[in-house]
Amino acid sequence: MSKSSTARTIVIWGAGRIGRGFVTDLFHAAGWHLVLVDQSAALIEGLREAGHYTVVRAASADQQEAVDIAGYEALITAQGDASAAAAAAADLLAVAVFPGAFPAVVRELAPALLARRAAQPESPLDILLCTNLSHPGPQFRALLHDVLPPGARAYAQDKIGVVETLVIRIAPDPPAELHACDPLLVWTNGYPELPVDRQGFKGAIPAVAGLRPVTDMRAEERRKLYTYNAFHAALAYLGALYGYELIAECMADLSVQEEATAALEEASRALEAEYGFSPEEMARWVADVIRHTDNPVLGDTVRRYGADPRRKLQREDRLVGPTLLARAHDISAVHLIEVIAAALRFDPLGDPSTSYVRERVKTLGVRAAVQELRGLTEDEHSLVMDIVRAYGCLPMEVGWHGRWAW
């Protein structure tokens, strides 16, 4: 498709839910020309044939907005020359793939970067990394270094910006009846901002509404992990004790919602103490976390939010991480500890990570399993024992609707 002679171009490598349902949404609204690149021939052919698709911003049951995305180009990665030419001429790149696909993407991008170096060696090119991985920049840049010939490595270091972002927008499965009618539909919670690391840019930061440049990306990453992800995990693990299957059910039960919110507020106070976020800013942030989560139209499940507890219970992740941070600042973490204990009881069928956690608890006992699974040391004995006590106070039967104390 043709584009306006004045429109800037962004090439989005990865036309999945985040690439197609978030990055394109922001840049389409800003008047940029969109080029979608994906390895799925079926997806690209569908996008070409349709000529447009819909992104739904479903902020709540009563607040939904459908946005029509049109005027894009769609390319298959197998068409190497076309996709490389598009990337070489782009004003901006975005990579919206799972981290495991980074090596393949870098190999696909290498010819484009070499062509750009030859055609416009002084023109910087920034690459937004829109992926669910903490601090992906060094990994992506190391892959670039390895795949480029020695003579091009200094160019990449000086002119290619690798910009970490923080994807908070959620894009779950759309309602089945809508997806059946429109397979290209992307259903989202409409989260409006994409924080970007201002220090990663080599060129000017695009003036695009929704891009929020930040200076301390590590603080932003932890804030998202220790609030959004922690709250979602808390709802799942506490709600599972009551036999709930949907996050909406967990939010509707005041006992579960209050307990999860108390854990969220403990994490919020710890982040405030560690990174200097103001109480007013964190109060607004926490309110947004709750508002964006309390959205029954998204259909999020306890199983999805609680999946892979072995990873989610690691030392620096969403539950133990804020607990340790709170204790370092002498902030009570009793509710976070209750959630950690509840995670040890999480037991949906078919999740190998859950089976592993349950097996370790059964084999080692709660205390030793807590130390092993969470990477806690003997110096953190008091925390281990707090988790053990909390575990002992949990209801033993799923579907229990009382409250526990320890």
pLDDT digits (tens, 9 = 90+) for 219-238: 999 999 999 999 999 999 99
What pLDDT shows up at residue 405? 45
Confidence of residue 377 (pLDDT cuts 50, 70, 90): confident
What kind of architecture, by CATH, is found in domain 9-215? 3-Layer(aba) Sandwich (3.40)
Interatomic CA distance for residues 323 and 337, integer angstroms = 7
Q: Give ranges for CATH 1.10.1040.10 in the chain.
A: 219-392
H or E segment at 322?
helix 320-328
CATH superfamily of 219-392: N-(1-d-carboxylethyl)-l-norvaline Dehydrogenase; domain 2 (1.10.1040.10)
Is 75 within 8 Å of 83 (Cβ atoms)?
A: yes
For residue range 242-297, list pLDDT tens digits in order. 999 999 999 999 999 999 999 999 999 999 999 999 999 999 999 999 999 988 88
Averaged pLDDT for residues 317-336? 96
Domain limits, CATH 3.40.50.720, in the chain: 9-215
CB contact set of 197 (below 8 Å; sequence gap of 6+) = 137, 163, 164, 165, 213, 214, 217
Q: What's the whole-number average pLDDT of the chain?
A: 92
What pLDDT was estimated at residue 406? 41
Distance CA 75, CA 43 (A): 10
CA nearest neighbour of 257 among 290, 222, 221: 290
The kind and range of the H/E element at 34 are: strand 33-38
What is the percent of the chain where pLDDT is above 70? 96
Note the pTM of the prediction, 2 decimals.
Answer: 0.87
Residue 196 has pLDDT above 50, yes or no: yes
Q: Is 51 left (phi over 0), alpha (psi -120 to 50) or beta?
A: left
Q: Phi and psi for 30 in degrees, rounded to 5?
A: -90, 5
